[in-house]
Structure 1
Amino acid sequence: MREIVWDTETTGFKPEEGHRLVEIGAIELVNHLPTENVFHEYINPERDIPEEAFNVHGLSIDFLKDKPVFAQIAQKFVDFVGDATLVAHNASFDMHFINYQLKELGFEPIPMSRSLDTLAIARKKFPGAQNSLDALCRRFGVDNSAREKHGALLDSEILAEVYLELIGGRQPDFGLSGAQQLTTTANPTGDWTPPARPRPLPSRLTEAEKAAHDAFVDALGEKAFWRA
């Protein structure tokens, strides 16, 4: 199963008012495990950046003026996404922005049915609690100390960790898939066996328990199973 965890930064809240994307960050998950496949682009919005937007993500028009415009990276983004599920926090915002600008260029919009909203998952799982990305990081112990300002790629990486916690832990399949892949290489039969412990666990059986067990076996006679 392929999923894309992604985030955007924009000049404002409504593309209908002329606001535009200034950054897209996305990482690929396959069977809930991150790969090295990453998409990250800064985008020249071809407009001024309001002060409030600058205060949030720290990107200036001077920094972005030599970056590609959206028309130059749209196909690259569509190819990267493919037919994967798109995972975002408050997905309707990101989907609306990307689809608005895709449609301006004549691209087919990405169906909302292909999006997965971690904010909606969090609200259902923790009703009444704070469910911002920062709040979820605190809840799950995800390190977000580098998040001084919003950045699409960094937020995507953090969201991927939060998403995996929301759906049942950072290894929702208990790591068996990864273990099977590793052992299949070394074991032609493909049968998975647990690796040996580097140090055996110490016995937790007390002397009194040993004595009680020996007395129980003695009472069963010479043909007791434990004497075999």
Structure 2
Amino acid sequence: MRMNPLIQFMKQVQGKINSSVYASLQGQSSPQHVAFLRQLEKELKVEESLVVPLSELTVVVFDLETTGFFPEQGDEILSIGAVKVKGGEVLEDTFYSLVHCSRELTPEIKELTRIEESDLAEAPELSKVLVDFYDFVKGEVLVAHHASHEKKFLQHFNWKLFRSQFKHRIVDTSFLLKLAEPNVNLVRLEDCCEHCSIPVVDRHHALGDAKMTAQLWSIYVERIQALGIKNLREVYERLSR
């Protein structure tokens, strides 16, 4: 049976960091990590994000480049890129980091991402990159294009590195596309960008993809507001019909 998208969304965003995690982190992570997790728990205000007008909602649009599709089988995150958007305005506030990786990359991944092993040798460890990324995000809503890939990797490594079941708020750009243009069937980011006359620049670079996705989000936020949709709650209500 198909789950109501609003219920599915609420399940996504109600993850909490168990206090027992803090104790386990004391011997493994820096005090900065522990303090960050405590603060992050305070900042997650799920109900507020649902009703903030889309014209005022700040989101963090992000992208991951990875060695493959299956973190549970050993695939790793190579880089994280993100940009903030408020309402329909793409901001100058960005985040980007490579991630340390000691494994040999496949020729396909190197060709696709233009990342070489030498680029990753001196990059920070993933635990630090994630802490820095989440510090950039604060309590804002996360957005990604066809977000299941990003969500799967973040869930896996949050547990592996922090022993945390934490689940942040992630909204998929495809939801807005479906509402604004239900008869248009576009999947790939570059196809969506070309459809909206967004220049395809730095494809398969985490920050490049995040910037293009941010422009896409900005355009479709304006379009769904023109349809009378005022906030995320109404997005999910419309999708559930």
TM-score, normalised by the number of residues in structure 1? 0.67
> Given the alignment, which residue of 147, 152, 176 partners 1:96?
152
CA deviation after TM superposition for structure 1 residue 24, in Å: 0.3
1:7 corresponding residue in structure 2: 63
Counterpart Cα distance in 2 of 1:108 and 1:36: 31
CA deviation after TM superposition for structure 1 residue 12, in Å: 0.7
Q: Which amino acid aligns with 1:161?
A: Q
Structure with higher RCO (Cα < 8 A, 6+ apart): 2
> Given the alignment, which residue of 132, 140, 165 partners 1:76?
132
Counterpart Cα distance in 2 of 1:143 and 1:29: 18
Residue 17 and residue 127 in structure 1: after superposition, are their counterparts in 2 closer, same or farther (change >3 A)? farther
What are the residue-to-residue correspondences of 1:140-219 with 2, within 5 Å? Answer: 140-144=196-200, 146-147=201-202, 149-169=203-223
Corresponding residue SS for 2:110: helix
**What are structure 2's unaligned runs of at least 5 residues?**
1-56, 227-241
Corresponding residue SS for 2:222: coil
Report if the CA contact (8 A) 1:122-1:131 is conserved: no
CA deviation after TM superposition for structure 1 residue 109, in Å: 4.3
Structure with greater proportional helix content? 2
Residue 55 and residue 133 in structure 1: after superposition, are their counterparts in 2 closer, same or farther (change >3 A)? same
Q: Which amino acid aligns with 2:156?
A: Y
Q: Which amino acid aligns with 1:155?
A: D
CA deviation after TM superposition for structure 1 residue 50, in Å: 1.8
Counterpart Cα distance in 2 of 1:19 and 1:85: 26
2:164 corresponding residue in structure 1: 108
Q: Which amino acid aligns with 1:118?
A: T
CA deviation after TM superposition for structure 1 residue 32, in Å: 3.2
1:41 corresponding residue in structure 2: 97
Counterpart Cα distance in 2 of 1:139 and 1:105: 39
2:173 corresponding residue in structure 1: 118
CA deviation after TM superposition for structure 1 residue 13, in Å: 0.7
Counterpart Cα distance in 2 of 1:84 and 1:128: 29
Counterpart Cα distance in 1 of 2:160 and 2:150: 16
Corresponding residue SS for 1:105: helix
**What are structure 1's unaligned runs of at least 5 residues?**
174-228
Report if the CA contact (8 A) 1:85-1:116 is conserved: yes
Q: How many residues align?
A: 169
Report the structure number with the largest CA radius of gyration: 1
The two structures, once aligned, show a CA RMSD in angstroms of 2.2
List structure 1 segments (4+ residues) > 6 angstroms apart after TM superposition.
none
Task: Give aligned-pair identity as a percent.
Answer: 24
1:52 matches 2:108:
yes
Corresponding residue SS for 1:142: coil
Counterpart Cα distance in 2 of 1:57 and 1:127: 32
CA deviation after TM superposition for structure 1 residue 72, in Å: 2.2
1:24 corresponding residue in structure 2: 80
CA deviation after TM superposition for structure 1 residue 30, in Å: 2.4
Residue 2 and residue 168 in structure 1: after superposition, are their counterparts in 2 closer, same or farther (change >3 A)? closer
